[in-house]
Amino acid sequence: MYYLLPFRFHVMQGKELLINDLGDFLLVPRGSVERIVNREIDTDGDLYKDLLASFFISEQPLPRLIDTMAVRLATRKAFLDHFTALHIFVLTLRCNQNCIYCQASSKENHCSGYDMDETNLFRAIDLMFCSPSPALTMEFQGGEPTLVPDLIRKAIEYAETRNQEQKRHMTYVICTNCVNLTDDLLNICKQYDVVISTSLDGPQFLHDRNRGKTDSYNRVITGIEKARAVLGENHVSALMTTSEYSLNFPTEIIDAYRGNGFHSIFIRALNPYGLASCNADWIMYYKKFIVFYKQALEYIIEINKTGEVFVEEFATLILRKILTPFPIGFVDLQSPSGIVNGVAVYNYDGYVYASDESRMLAESQDYTFRLGHVTDKYEDLFYGRKVQQISRIWATECIAGCADCAFQSICGADPVRNYSTQGDMYGFRPGSMFCYKHKMIIEYLFQLLTERTEEVLPIFKSWITGTRG
């Protein structure tokens, strides 16, 4: 006689993948779940021992190691301990590029009225320091934040002054296209150990097409090299956005990153905001994206097999959740959701939003996820009625279609995406492209881990630990 502990299962390649809330998983023959539930497992067999050791069953009504289980579950949810750590400051909506997929609804460089007021900037920083998190990240976005370098300097200097008393661990990030990196700005970055996060969509023909400019690639590469020379290679990272045109060139994109000195890539799908929301057929796009992603990851695995370390960052985030007990800071893969809990956005006009995607909706005059203004009290913004409303449906554990999903402990909830694509925060998982994308990628990684273990596990472990060789 044994007792069942909570777990879910997923049919994969003719077998059943069992996963529990602690992240333990087992791949067992088809029909095993029925035998487990009906108490038909031989207590002398290997399957019984595996189920017992991995907390799928217990020999007592109250598991002997329940305290260990509690610690492991608390560790997976540890990102909630310190509340909001990432604070995004949208310093301007003005931009000097014309990306065909722009999700931020940016404005032309010459436009006025789209820069953050200095007073509102300082108020936003004061709100940031109200967060209980011992580590704070200030991320400057746009538009193109390098168009307002004085605001960047004043923001960092004010934060440094405040932090003399607060004693937080501060991280500064500038999200930039690298087209406008002046010597003065790079000096600011060097002085305060600022990280540059840029974007590169692939080879020149592809990057220039996506950016709507004929000289964008050359200017971006020049900016990247200039930043590396001043700040060092480790202070410059890049990610790409997969436009519909990009879907045809998985290997070319990766080779462009390698050729430009990068050792990793974050393969990012389009999000349904701004100009990208005009995509005519999202279902077809995401189906093609999954094919594209698998082709890209297979190519990256082959590269690693030659001894060259090249990391796919999105896969690494998921693998950390599968192979380690530790939480990650990525908003899309958190439950309760990373919005508010992990990130807050201070827009150029002084309004505060639950996430970056939330303020993107606001540029279309939809203020559903606006929390308030920087003149409001911290408690009213982060614990107010709007956040309480969102919090009722931001955990996979209590959402239909997620609560019984085998990948629940790996995936995350996104009320903003549900609202944007399906018209309500709760959403409908069978019709969710967010759900479809994550399920397909997570299942693919499990297939690699279980069917090609000796080939891929050493590679994946090196990605997680950051070790080479």
219: domain CATH number is: 3.20.20.70
For the segment 157-185, what is each residue's pLDDT rounded down to a tens digit? Answer: 999 999 999 999 999 999 998 988 999 99
Same domain, 125 and 40: no
DSSP state letter for 194? P
> Cβ atoms within 10 A of the Cβ of 166, count?
13
* pLDDT in the model for residue 346: 98
Q: What is the average pLDDT across 199-228?
A: 90
Same domain, 164 and 295: yes
Same domain, 43 and 159: no
Domain boundary (46, 76, 106) is at 76
Q: What is the average pLDDT across 245-250?
A: 95
Domain boundary (298, 323, 353) is at 353
Same domain, 263 and 340: yes
**Phi, psi torsion values for 369, nearest 5 degrees:** -105, 20
- Is 240's pLDDT higher than 70? yes
* pLDDT in the model for residue 142: 86
Give the chain's length.
Answer: 469
Same domain, 40 and 153: no
d(CA 225, CA 74): 42
Q: What is the average pLDDT across 252-281?
A: 83
Same domain, 206 and 335: yes
Residue 415: strand, helix, or coil: helix
On whether residue 88 sits in a domain, the answer given is: yes
Structure tokens at 284: 């077809």
pLDDT > 90: percent of the chain: 81
Same domain, 215 and 268: yes
- Is 317's pLDDT higher than 60? yes
- Is 101's pLDDT higher than 70? no
H runs (alpha helix) in 77-148: 118-128
Identify the band that residue 469 occupies on the pLDDT scale cut at 50, 70 and 90. very low
On whether residue 129 sits in a domain, the answer given is: yes
On whether residue 258 sits in a domain, the answer given is: yes
Same domain, 294 and 189: yes
The secondary structure element, H or E, covering residue 227 is helix 216-231
Same domain, 117 and 61: no
Number of domains in the chain: 2
d(CA 81, CA 227): 35
Please say whether the beta carbons of 94 and 114 come within 8 A: yes
On whether residue 24 sits in a domain, the answer given is: yes
On whether residue 194 sits in a domain, the answer given is: yes
Task: Give the angle 212-213-218 at the CA atoms, nearest 5°.
Answer: 135
d(CA 469, CA 453): 17
Please say whether the beta carbons of 180 and 96 come within 8 A: yes
Domain boundary (30, 57, 76) is at 76
For the segment 273-287, what is each residue's pLDDT rounded down to a tens digit? Answer: 655 555 668 889 999
d(CA 144, CA 176): 6
- Is 100's pLDDT higher than 70? no
On whether residue 90 sits in a domain, the answer given is: yes
Name residue 230's amino acid.
V
Q: What residues make up the domain containing 197?
A: 82-353
Same domain, 183 and 34: no
Strand ranges (E), 207-348: 236-242, 264-265, 267-269, 311-312, 343-346
Q: What is the average pLDDT across 382-389?
A: 95
Q: What is the average pLDDT across 130-151?
A: 95
Same domain, 115 and 178: yes
Q: Alpha-carbon torsion 214, 220, 221, 222, what sign?
A: positive
Same domain, 207 and 171: yes
On whether residue 36 sits in a domain, the answer given is: yes
* pLDDT in the model for residue 102: 61
Please say whether the beta carbons of 133 and 84 come within 8 A: yes
On whether residue 434 sits in a domain, the answer given is: no
* pLDDT in the model for residue 281: 80
